[in-house]
Structure 1
Amino acid sequence: MRETYNFCAGPATMPYNVLKTAQKELLDWEQQGASVMEVSHRGKEFIALAKECEADLRELLNIPVNYKVLFLQGGGLAQFGLIPLNLLGDKMGDGKTTVDYLETGVWSKKSAIEGSRYAVSNIVYSGKSEGYINVPDKNAINVNPESAYLHICSNETINGVEFFYDIKNCPIPVVADMSSNILSRRIDVSQYGLIYAGAQKNIGPAGLTVVIIREDLLGKASKFVPDALNYTLQAENDSMLNTPPTFAIYLMSLVLKELKEKGGLVEMEKLNHKKAFMLYSTIDNSRLYRNPVHVDARSNMTIPFTLADPTLDALFLKEAEAHNLINLKGHRSVGGMRASIYNAMPIEGVIALTNFMKDFEARYYS
């Protein structure tokens, strides 16, 4: 195994076995005499890989047959604008069409700002006044039935809050940014109109974006959408309208295989809960560390925490790195620390971190 544990928020740590397999196959994939990065995306070998990759994703997430799976580029941030461009059609920019947003942190706030270029952003819920430390009660979400859709960010990587429920029977399509918690637990895809996720947390490397869209939402794109970013055209061409990020899809396929071998999302959900519980318990039983998020909304993926004595921050990071615990510095907008413990973070990494945290407190804050 690796000597270091990487807690980076993204691009995040990759599964060790996946990297080893990629290293082994880097120069000769499928006996092609070339890397997967060097062969045609229209060749039968790569097309078979892409189809198998989609099939594995469908199996893991139990995606209904009336949903299309797209392998796109541009990252999750690009989808903030591409979603209204693809879903609003002729209604875009008419000054009357609204889109509802649940503002639970930095990324959902950014999505609402970007969306306001194309429609009226209606903030149904905002956690700003509290400092983005909670999500709305599932029974208290009141959407405008005339809005085009409701947008949520299911896990806020900077603020460390997560939705642990699906918004069921919503009168308008629910669009969810699942960039940082997709594949970490079971979800009911049928409750969503569209799910999107940048790959660089739980799926694979940066450069690939997965979009899962219900078929009735296709065919609504504005005439201003470039062909390569048009969901309908990409769906009609099996995400091969232009050259896809082939190496990222290859790595994603390896990640999905490993998830299946480990027991799928049922087992990942158990493991991720165990890892998060271990770290939160260390924080809550400490006088030095603090996590501000409401207990019921605490993310299992991204855990920010602060030190009671901020003058110890630099020393904490320096000693953590000396203990092979890297990339724990918090986001520049909130400071403190952040431990991203996505699927690929082994429980041994969390044990090493919590042991270090307890030892550090004993030495410097007793």
Structure 2
Amino acid sequence: ELKLHQCGLPKKMALELFKPFIYARLDAKGHSATVKQAKKLVEKERPEVWDILDEVIREHPVMLNRAPTLHRLGIQAFEPVLIEGKAIQLHPLVCSAFNADFDGDQMAVHVPLSLEAQLEARVLMMSTNNILHPANGQPIIVPSQDIVLGLYYLSIMRDNEPGEGMMFADMGEIDHALAAKAITLHTKVKGRYVGVDAEGKRMSKIYDTTPGRMKLGELLPKHPKVPFDVVNKGMTKKEISNMIDTVYRHCGQKESVIFCDKIMSLGFYNAFRAGISFGKDDMVVPKKKWELVEETRTLTKEYEQQYNDGLITQGEKYNKVVDAWGKCTDRIADEMMKEISAVRKDPKTGRDRQINSIYMMSHSGARGSPAQMKQLAGMRGLMAKPSGEIIESPIISNFKEGL
């Protein structure tokens, strides 16, 4: 609900922070003759106090700081929005700049008092003016987690979906067809995208795309250097970052901020609509696992025999065994990724089945990595001692089998 330049400030907190301003305004409006009277009114939390608080905080930025402040984006200015409750609300897109998450992080609120300080906070420190990373110039207000998952789900293209090959003139027709269930978000369709050419004139082009990608394309600012091709692909975290970068480079800061807010809402909504969950059956243990393990066991027995026969030294045997198990773990991980990422057809309808949820989370860049999936459904592999030395015998089972 918050815009990028806003933060939610609990009413009680705001009342304490803006006390001097409230006293002055109460005095100016004739509600109180002395500071003592004003104090009493504030303590009793009279209705006129809340009205005055609304006036005072309007257009008065506050600064939020999250410790540890490791770079200059650890402290930024926002326009406060009064909220019920006792927790500060933060816009999801600025979390990466603060390195904040919602598991009990604490933040400090500072009120710039003088007009110069307020002006400086607004011009230099406002979150909308800090959308690039000071270290590398990349956008820092890049969506993460749920938003990435929602946008990735929106941009998936599948075979044999209902209404494949249909043509649409505009987004209105697509919305009608979606509502009538004539097509799905992932159907391969031909859609007309209206953009602008170098002279600023309207121009349209037909693209092979999906209704989901067309929805995303609708949000793109109209600019000759920002074509529909930017969104006409699977939107992983990296692609989303590139898209925001392209929009920022060609359309400027204001357009980028509005665009990021829109894709955030779209991402959250589609992550919710997708109903992607994490279940134990989504972790697929590869069929070839035990075959590969037996193969490696035979190999390690051979190395053991060679050592006993005096053909190789203890060190050589150790290196060979560790190497064999390392390769085995990698091969099992590859088999697992192959099985998880395979698109399976539904035998009844011939349609592509929903892609594996865990694979979607990992591949989109929303959460998790192939290395974590390897431990969940492949094999844990070789472990290191506290001294850093690798133990010869690996852990063959994975977390799912342990469960």
Q: TM-score range by the shorter chain?
A: under 0.3
Q: TM-score, normalised by structure 2?
A: 0.21
Greater Rg, structure 1 or structure 2?
2
Structure having the larger proportion of residues in helix? 2
Q: Which structure is higher in RCO with an 8 Å CA cutoff and minimum separation 6?
A: 1
**More strand per residue:** 1
